Structure 1
Amino acid sequence: MITRDIDSFIALAAGLPVVAPTCARAVFMVSPDGFRLAEQSARDNRYMAMGEAVDEACALAEHRALQAAVRRVLPVTVFPGDAATPDAVFPNNVFATAPGRYLVGHMRHAVRRREAERADIRAYFKQTLERREIDLSLQPGVCELTGSLVIDRARGIGFCGLSERCDETGARAMHEAFGLNVTLLFDLADGEYHTNVVLSVLASRAVAVASSGFADARVPEAVAALYGGQALRLDARQKAEYAGNCITLAEDALFLSQRAHDSLDAGQRGQLADWGFTLHVVPMPMLEKAGGSLRCCVGEVF
């Protein structure tokens, strides 16, 4: 079921059992070679620091540190970047996986649609991993994969925020392609572009949620209730510092940027510890100028 009706969604989602892994078994990344800020993306990504200078060498060093941190938990495959596709450092919006298949997103901006055409990444999934291809770039709806759609993988639950980066047609295509049991559709607040900046599911047992990122305040409350109140509540400042753009890469391993980590108070860090999470913190100030943070840099292999 895919619905906007919160009550219908909760009635189904609350009864779904954990039947699949909560976290990825490997990840893929794209190096920030030729790192710069993409002017097209800045049209609807207010998190981009368009007025600031960027440094490719610094971005590359940050990315290498991120790779090293993640490799302590999971295998990492890294693809080269290209100055012609500056947003490619955020590959989770373009490529995603589900058991036995991989998805290609339908990107809003032309600079990102070029990423979806990469033969080397497609070959990695099709030939190396032997995955069936589902190319959503060929269908009419815009859908920027796990940027727009946050997924509870263990229970097959989707949370899809609609914006310029994802419309209802695209959301329905993702719901089917990922094979989800139920997906809640909702509008993001004005100025928000991706759901994964305002919401993260943490190993299917908790959530990080920024209520100011949702057009309807009932949605984040329903999401929090679905996880038994185990919700890390983020204010607007913490959202702007990318605290919602975090990712669990193991049952006990929560990854977030230094900037995001530093925005949390002691009580919030204590909550995460009580829920069984160890924080893995990576400084990413240069990469974050491009309008995304740690979670956006990490593509998951399920």
Structure 2
Amino acid sequence: MLQAQNLSQRHSGVVQNANCVVMVPPKEFKFNAETAQDNEFQNQSALSDEQITQHAMAEFNQMVTKLRQEGVQVVVFDYPLGDVATPDAVFPNNWFSTTTDGAFYTFPMACTNRQYEVRSDELIQQLSFAGRTIARQDSLVEYQKQHAYLESTGVMVIDHINRTIYAALSQRCDREVLEDYAQRIGYERVVSFQTALPSGQPIYHTNVMMAIGESFCVICDEVIPEYERRFVLKSLAKDKQVISISLEQMNRFCGNILQLETVNGDKVIAMSRSAYESFSPAQRTQLSSHGKLLPFNVETIESIGGGSVRCMLGEVFLPARSHTL
């Protein structure tokens, strides 16, 4: 039944999964003290900055190569070094998003040194070179002046099929900006909720606790207060197979995964090696029914950066002029 539903959705132009992603090389990557103030997933390292860069670049390059081999279009967005270092540039999904009607959005980032990652004109040019059509640009960056932030698909996990945005509210996810963006893209439903880690602090980005595919969802629902949890799970379960993960699994980035399509329409699910190994055999079997599992060793990036494979992938839904890899 789900297969028939998904087929009709493709025919009607609804797309859940991108077949193209933007990836940014981690050439300035290191521990970011500014983001660590509310990102409990970051860890200091005994490695030198040079060693960190070397390890991170190796992880990045093997991930790009493997995704391309599988048939996912990867746009590597390199950039010139500026006066301000951007250690988290490897996580581009936090500052831009795209839509199937050719819109390119930029977002207000909470951390000052991350705001320097936003290079809209350069990325748009790169996407055009890659055969993608940009029809219009829009920006919510002006909210930064009000200290209101919305870090794109870091804080928004989107069910495009049901035109619904799920978002854990935090310093990096302001309700007003969230509602504004939903209105701009014409999505009728916003399901926002509170979260709490054992420390009492909220989850810094929704995409470390949940992921939504075409017909499945992975979620660490135990971090959601019980009075909101039931509503969130009921909403997801309407047409998704809900795979619940534990707090320990979330800490191993089991929630930070992303279903993609190849240029031939095959489904793949990108995740870190640590996430793959932390899923139970039964959960891996469930996920495998939704696409080929692609585990990547990004242990340096996810340990020091506090984000994993999904954070490294900026989805591109822009119309394609070609299928150039």
Task: Calculate the TM-score normalised by the size of structure 2.
Answer: 0.81
Residue number in structure 2 paired with 1:236: 247
- Distance in 1, matches of 2:71 and 2:128, equals 25
- Distance in 1, matches of 2:97 and 2:34, equals 22
- The range that moved more, 246-255 or 17-26, is 17-26
- Distance in 1, matches of 2:126 and 2:187, equals 24
Contact 1:252–1:276 under 8 Å retained in 2 = yes
Show CA shifts across 1:44-76 (max 9, x none).
Answer: 100001254361011001000111122122111
Residue number in structure 2 paired with 1:156: 163
Matched residue SS, 2:282 = helix
Residue number in structure 2 paired with 1:248: 259
Q: Residue type of the partner of 2:140?
A: L
1:82-101 paired onto structure 2 within 5 Å? 82=81, 84-99=85-100, 100-101=102-103
Contact 1:209–1:220 under 8 Å retained in 2 = no
Residue number in structure 2 paired with 1:25: 19
How far is 1:187 from its partner?
1.7
Q: Residue 77 and residue 287 in structure 1: after superposition, are their counterparts in 2 closer, same or farther (change >3 A)?
A: same
Matched, 1:185 2:192: yes
Residue number in structure 2 paired with 1:64: 61
- Distance in 2, matches of 1:211 and 1:300, equals 25
- Distance in 1, matches of 2:140 and 2:271, equals 29
Contact 1:207–1:227 under 8 Å retained in 2 = no
- Distance in 1, matches of 2:207 and 2:86, equals 21
- Distance in 2, matches of 1:221 and 1:22, equals 19
- Distance in 1, matches of 2:298 and 2:216, equals 25
- Distance in 2, matches of 1:68 and 1:256, equals 15
Contact 1:38–1:87 under 8 Å retained in 2 = yes
Would you tell me which structure has more strand in proportion to its own residues? 1
Structure 2, unaligned stretches of length 5 or more?
1-7, 318-325
Residue number in structure 1 paired with 2:113: 111
How far is 1:252 from its partner?
2.5
**Partner of residue 211 from structure 1, selected from 207, 213, 221:** 221
Contact 2:194–2:202 under 8 Å retained in 1 = no
- Distance in 2, matches of 1:61 and 1:268, equals 29
1:104-183 paired onto structure 2 within 5 Å? 104-117=106-119, 119-124=121-126, 129-139=133-143, 140=146, 141-183=148-190
Matched residue SS, 2:64 = helix
Q: Residue 102 and residue 94 in structure 1: after superposition, are their counterparts in 2 closer, same or farther (change >3 A)?
A: same
Q: Residue type of the partner of 1:59?
A: A
Matched residue SS, 1:160 = strand
- Distance in 2, matches of 1:180 and 1:206, equals 20
- Distance in 2, matches of 1:121 and 1:173, equals 24
How far is 1:22 from its partner?
2.0
Show CA shifts across 1:220-249 (max 9, x none).
Answer: 422442235x11110010000000000001
**Partner of residue 234 from structure 2, selected from 205, 222, 231:** 222
Contact 1:149–1:158 under 8 Å retained in 2 = yes
- Distance in 2, matches of 1:142 and 1:221, equals 26
How far is 1:177 from its partner?
3.0
